[in-house]
Amino acid sequence: MHPPSVFDPHSAYAWSIYHLTVVVTILMGVVVLIVTGLVTYVCIRFRERKHPGPRLSYGNRKVEILYTALPLMLLASIFGLMIRNMDASDPIQRTRDNIVVVGHQFWWEIRYPGTGIVTANEVHIPAGKPQMFGMEAADVIHDFWVPQLGRKMDMVPGYHRDVWLAANEPGIYLGRCSEYCGKEHAWMRIRVFAQTPANFAQWEADQEKIPPIPTTGDAADGARYFTTMTCANCHTIRGTSAQGEIGPDLTHLASRTTLAAGRLPNDPADLANWIKDPTKYKPGCFMPDLGLTDEQVRDLVAYLETLR
């Protein structure tokens, strides 16, 4: 598991950003050292005790040229590095989107164009293959940032933007929404699962399947509650009459590791807690407390756990 860090690059894109960060930090460090060094030297060397008053001198051409030319050269070289970095960190060549992420208050919708796959908050990608991500927003401005994999990208309502992201090695890379978007902004976490190409293909095949509707036991009652109660107004489960689009697609909910954009781990107990009182965990979120009975919650959990 890689917590977000610019200093732990895992793609060519992230490496280029890392290099620029290091070079600029060193250059700026040298400038800070020279300036504070000179000021300290002057403070000590020309203390008032020894020098009753400064001798003023005007118009030293050499010094003026020096203090204009040096910073200019420094800034020009940083500008040059940055121009180069813009292409290295996010090449201009665009292809068809592999993945489209839509920012919602306060979760991420994840679509795989050309397949039926729609999921939420957890992105799966094949390791070692650059991915063209499309970025959109459903309500307000969000920002998708997984520092290990590449640059950050604002999601602006009404615009479609593209960004290259990749992971060199398999692993779990964490990210978060990086543009304040409302009350639960802090609980808009991202998990990217970079998998070996074989594992990724397996995941894709599993996600494309439509889970069967249970016909016996608590799960069957849960399935009935889900489609007859308000859940279906907001959530989609493929293969059922639930086609709501306000909340995350739950077709393969049980295959995810977390709930509600990283707020809770996805296990039966936490799933029950969430369904019973979502606003206890994310007070500003748009899933209401529906006043369910313990029995309804139990049946709904039994059903949702079948959605592997």
Residues that bind ligand HEC (CB under 6 A): 106-107, 120-121, 184, 226, 229-231, 233-235, 246-248, 250, 253, 256, 259-261, 274-275, 282, 285-288, 290, 292, 300, 304
What are all long-range contacts of 61-66, with beta carbons under 8 Å and residues at least 24 apart?
Answer: none
CA 299 to chain centre: 33
**Residue 104 or 151 having the CB closest to ligand HEC:** 104
Q: How far is the CB of 220 from Cu ion (least distance, A)?
A: 37
What, of Cu ion, ligand HEC, none, does residue 120 touch, CB below 5 to 8 Å by kind? ligand HEC
Q: How far is the CB of 155 from ligand HEC (least distance, A)?
A: 16
Q: Report the sign of the C-alpha dihedral through residues 286, 290, 293, 297, in that order.
A: negative
Q: How far is the CB of 122 from ligand HEC (least distance, A)?
A: 8
What, of ligand HEC, Cu ion, none, does residue 115 touch, CB below 5 to 8 Å by kind? none
Which amino acid is residue 17, in one-letter code? I
- Contact in structure between 22 and 85 (CB atoms under 8 Å): no
What, of Cu ion, ligand HEC, none, does residue 285 touch, CB below 5 to 8 Å by kind? ligand HEC
What, of Cu ion, ligand HEC, none, does residue 181 touch, CB below 5 to 8 Å by kind? Cu ion
Q: How many Cβ atoms are within 10 Å of 190's Cβ, its own excluded?
A: 23
- Contact in structure between 232 and 226 (CB atoms under 8 Å): yes
Would you tell me which residues interact with Cu ion (CB under 5 A)?
142, 177, 181, 188
Q: How far apart are CA 215 and CA 115, in angstroms?
A: 28
Of 156, 175, 164, the C-alpha closest to 1 is 175
**Residue 118 or 188 having the CB closest to Cu ion:** 188
Q: How far is the CB of 231 from ligand HEC (least distance, A)?
A: 3
**Residue 29 or 265 having the CB closest to ligand HEC:** 265
Q: How far is the CB of 2 from ligand HEC (least distance, A)?
A: 21
**Residue 177 or 190 having the CB closest to Cu ion:** 177
**Residue 95 or 230 having the CB closest to ligand HEC:** 230
How many Cα atoms within 13 Å fall on the side-chain side of residue 42?
7
SS3 content of the chain, % helix, strand, coil (to 5): 40, 20, 40
- Contact in structure between 157 and 141 (CB atoms under 8 Å): yes
Q: How far is the CB of 224 from ligand HEC (least distance, A)?
A: 12
Inter-axis angle of helices 268-276 and 294-304, to 10 degrees?
A: 130
What, of Cu ion, ligand HEC, none, does residue 125 touch, CB below 5 to 8 Å by kind? none
What, of Cu ion, ligand HEC, none, does residue 233 touch, CB below 5 to 8 Å by kind? ligand HEC
Q: How far apart are CA 163 and CA 93, in angstroms?
A: 10
Q: How far is the CB of 188 from Cu ion (least distance, A)?
A: 4
- The residue whose two tokens read 């009350």 is 183
| Sheet containing strand 171-177, strands side by side | 122-126, 189-195, 171-177, 142-145, 153-155
**Residue 109 or 299 having the CB closest to Cu ion:** 109
What, of Cu ion, ligand HEC, none, does residue 165 touch, CB below 5 to 8 Å by kind? none
Q: How far is the CB of 291 from ligand HEC (least distance, A)?
A: 10
Q: Which residues does residue 125 pair with via DSSP β-bridges, in sequence order? A: 194
Q: How far apart are CA 241 and CA 231, in angstroms?
A: 11
What, of Cu ion, ligand HEC, none, does residue 177 touch, CB below 5 to 8 Å by kind? Cu ion
